[in-house]
Structure 1
Amino acid sequence: MSARERILQRLCERADGALQAPVSDFSVVTGRNWTRQERVEHFERWISSVHGEVIHCSSTNWTGVLATVLRDKRVERLALGREHAIAREAREVLDAGDVELVDVDRDVDGWRRELFEQVDAGLTSTLGGIAETGSLWLWPTVDEPRLLSLVPPIHIAVLDADCIDDTLFDVMRRHGWADRMPTNALLISGPSKTADIEQTLAYGVHGPRELVVLLRQ
């Protein structure tokens, strides 16, 4: 019998019975009971406090707002997917414009230099937001890879107000993470930032220097 097997046997033969999982009290991480408007206000206040930019729009005019953002920020090359509804709608509006659309559904090894040096912004969808922390949560796919939100200098994310939950626990419970935990979920709470030993913040050192959230209501 190996040492591992002996340890497991001792655990199984405990004199005081089998181990029982402790009762968990999750009340501290849920139960905010905010209204839809309160969730929007909490989300916007917290993400704005760390230099995230929130622009209100609707499900019908958001592509026009996107075009304005790209023009105002002088974006010439925008990286985006093809299959997601957000990418398809954006392409319909931007295909005939001045912004060059960069496809991301390809092996990163073949366009790594282009991604890091020549792309001005990345556009992604989101699966939701977290009001308590002012965070977005994304679940990257082949069509919207993780690098799309982590590498370009500007990250533009589209968020529906109805998809904002009170807390991270509420997100995990509502979307059944206990049964189907995402392998690569991203939580984004503002643009990339870091600090030196004197705690002086610098933005965009290790990722996007700007985060723009198009909040559809």
Structure 2
Amino acid sequence: MNARERILGRLRSAAPSAADVSIDELDRRIDAHYAGHYAMQPQSMQQRIEALQTALTAAHADVWCADIASWPAQLAARLAADGVRRLLLDTATPEGAALAAALPPDVDARTYAQPIERWKAELFDTIDAGFTVARSGIASTGTLILAPDAGTPRTVSLAPPLHVALVHAHTLHADLHAAARAERWRDGMPTNLVLVSGPSKTSDIQQTLAYGAHGPRKVWVVIVTGAADADPDADKTTNEGAAR
């Protein structure tokens, strides 16, 4: 039994009347519920962009939109103006390479090319910002979905005081259910996903809200629009999660 089946087994034990409901039937009911929700509240891509931006801004993230041609120069200029001198990024990705090429000479692009044990002090003491490319985003909650890998491990979004994330507008989903359906998570979840909804914050000490205790103090999000972002569902009553 996998984890999902074990959890459902415990729920069935607590509610015997539902014991004869199959997993496929539960999936069907859940999908039907959300399909009705999407039909009543259609969202175009522009609406998803605006919802993501509103939610992230409310969580104290700095969010702006840029087209696919201009975002590297815009971001490079903002990084330099903010005093960033060492930026951690993966130049093996198209976005990382584009940003590295746009950086001014006084901003040093660093890659995660060695185990953390070999440069932990340098990473935590000298890296000013980390750049990641989100796998997708959840508009309703203002959440970015990151899929860490060898070139961009979790540390890139957690250790530097500034986390800069890029998300392509065409990857935005209405909610978590739509993301799971559209990306077919049930067919094979990644070993690790990081969900980011703003800078790190805590109220553990005297119930005083503080930023940066367990992660970055600041989060910037660039929502990239472009030719690939044409919205096929702009005039329909469903989004991609409901249509699947």
Which TM-score bucket, shorter chain as reference? 0.7 to 0.9
Structure 2 residue 141 is the aligned partner of structure 1 residue 140: no
TM-score (norm 1): 0.86
1:163-178 alignment, distance < 5 Å: 163-178=171-186
Q: Tell me the equivalent position of 1:21.
A: 22
1:46 and 1:134 in contact (8 A); partners too: yes
Indicate whether 1:215 and 2:223 are aligned: yes
* Segments of 4+ moved more than 6 angstroms: none
Deviation digits for residues 108-164 of structure 1, max 9, x if unmatched?
Answer: 111111111110000111111101100000100101111000110000011111111
- Cα distance in 2 for partners of 1:198, 1:103 equals 38
Q: 1:97 to 1:197 in 2, by over 3 A?
A: closer
Distance 2:154 2:44 in 1: 31
Q: Deviations over 1:63-115 (max 9, x none)?
A: 11111211221001111112111111112222x62101112132111111111
Equivalent residue number for residue 50 of structure 1: 59
Measured after TM superposition, the shift of residue 19 of structure 1 is 5.3
Larger Rg: 1
- The one-letter amino acid paired with 2:147 is W
Q: Distance in 1 between matches of 2:62 and 2:194?
A: 18
TM-fit CA distance, 1:200: 2.3
1:49-128 matches, within 5 Å, as 49-94=58-103, 97-128=105-136
Tell me the distance in 2 between the aligned counterparts of 1:92 and 1:28: 43
Q: Is the 1:129–1:135 contact (alpha carbons within 8 Å) kept by the matching residues of 2? A: yes
Note closer, same or farther for the CA distance 1:197–1:97 as it changes in structure 2 (3 Å cut): closer
CA distance in 2, matches of 1:211, 1:59: 20
In structure 2, give the amino acid aligned to 1:130.
I
Greater helix proportion: 2
Counterpart code for 1:127: R
CA distance in structure 2 between the aligned counterparts of 1:191 and 1:184, rounded to whole angstroms: 20
Deviation at residue 21 of structure 1 after TM alignment: 2.4
Mapped to 2, the partners of 1:19 and 1:137 lie a distance apart of 35
Measure the CA separation in 1 of the matches of 2:144 and 2:87.
20
CA contact (8 A) 2:137 2:172 kept: yes
In 2, the alpha carbon distance for the partners of 1:170 and 1:111 equals 39
- Do 1:130 and 1:166's aligned partners in 2 also have CA atoms closer than 8 Å? yes
Distance 1:144 1:120 in 2: 16
Range with bigger deviation, 50-59 or 18-27 = 18-27
Q: Is the 8 A contact 2:86 2:108 kept in 1?
A: yes
**1:81–1:105: 8 Å Cα contact kept in structure 2?**
no
What are the equivalent positions in structure 2 for 1:145-164 lying under 5 Å apart? Answer: 145-164=153-172
Are 1:191 and 2:202 counterparts? no
Give the secondary-structure state (helix, strand or coil) at the position aligned to 2:219: strand
One-letter identity of the residue aligned with 1:103: T
Q: Measure the CA separation in 2 of the matches of 1:168 and 1:20.
A: 23
State the distance in 1 between where 2:218 and 2:204 align.
20
Gaps spanning 5+ residues in structure 2: where? 1-18, 226-244
